[in-house]
Amino acid sequence: MFTVGIIGRPNVGKSTLFNRIAGRRIAIVDDMPGVTRDRIEYIAEWQGKKFKILDTCGYDLREDLLKKEMLKQFYASLDESDFFIFLVDGKEGVHPLDEIVCNILREKEKPFILAVNKIDNEKSEANVLEFYALGVDEIIPISATHGKNIDELLDKIAENV
Ligand code: GDP
Ligand code: MG
């Protein structure tokens, strides 16, 4: 089945987004990075398309994961997904690890959509612009906790299935 991995740094809101899409609380959301212990998946249906969404700690990029051996594992986990939701934190701005993840996705020629999370209100919308520095054509601003723009994100995924 077409598989969609949610990828991004710890604490950007991957599990919150996963739960929002699943419509219930399956993944553990926590303020402490690295809380998603097990691989969690959900079969989503949208616009008549079916796809599997993954939230796993394997996609959490901690500093130590950038060490050679761990990076290898990260690469291997990348192969599981056909498409990625590359999630970044609109409150924190562009992080050096975001650039690394972006470069890996390009290098591996993995299709992805960049979603800037934690855009909870109009005031925070300006935070989205700096992420164009990552060199993407399109960005979807979302708020996983407020459920903002999730439909647009799912539309984008369904287009690619
Ligand atoms: P993960 O480590 O990437 O899986 O991140 P989590 O889903 O566990 O969320 C980390 C923290 O960010 C939690 O405190 C969430 O409540 C918070 N968070 C997630 N999405 C949003 C959002 O859209 N807006 C705001 N303000 N906080 C969010
Ligand atoms: Mg998580």
pLDDT in tens, 67-104: 565 566 667 668 889 999 999 999 999 998 889 889 98
- Atom 12 of ligand 1: nearest residue by CA position: 13
Residue 158 pLDDT more than 90? yes
State pTM to two decimals: 0.89
Give the Å distance between the CA of 14 and the centre of ligand 2: 5
3 state SS of 44: strand
- Atom 8 of ligand 1: nearest residue by CA position: 29
Give the Å distance between the CA of 33 and the centre of ligand 1: 10
pLDDT score of 11: 86
Residues with CB under 6 A from ligand 1: 10-16, 29-31, 33, 35-36, 117-118, 120, 143-145
Question: Among the atoms of ligand 1, which is closest to the Cα of residue 33?
Answer: 2
pLDDT score of 68: 62
Give the Å distance between the CA of 89 and the centre of ligand 1: 9
Mean pLDDT computed over 5-16: 87
**Tokens 């890996």 belong to residue:** 104
Give the Å distance between the CA of 135 and the centre of ligand 1: 24
Query: What residues pack around ion ligand 2 (CB closer than 5 A)?
Result: 14-15, 36
Residue 135, domain CATH: 3.40.50.300
Q: Could you tell me the pLDDT band of residue 154, with boundaries at 50, 70 and 90?
A: very high
Length of the chain (residues):
161
pLDDT score of 58: 45
Say which ligand is closest to the CA of 36: 2
Question: Among the atoms of ligand 1, which is closest to the Cα of residue 8?
Answer: 3
pLDDT in tens, 24-73: 666 666 655 555 555 688 899 999 999 999 886 545 555 566 556 556 66
Domain that holds residue 122: 3-160
Q: How many domains are there within the chain?
A: 1
Mean pLDDT computed over 113-117: 98
**41 touches 52 (CB < 8 A):** yes
CA 113 to chain centre: 8
Measured N-to-C along each axis, helices 96-107 and 68-78 cross at an angle, to the nearest 10 degrees, of: 50
CB atoms within 10 A of CB 73: 11
Mean pLDDT computed over 123-128: 95
Say which ligand is closest to the CA of 40: 2
Q: What are the residues facing 113 on neighbouring strands?
A: 85
Per DSSP, 60 falls in state: B
**Lateral strand order in the sheet of 139-141:** 40-46, 49-55, 3-7, 83-89, 112-117, 139-141
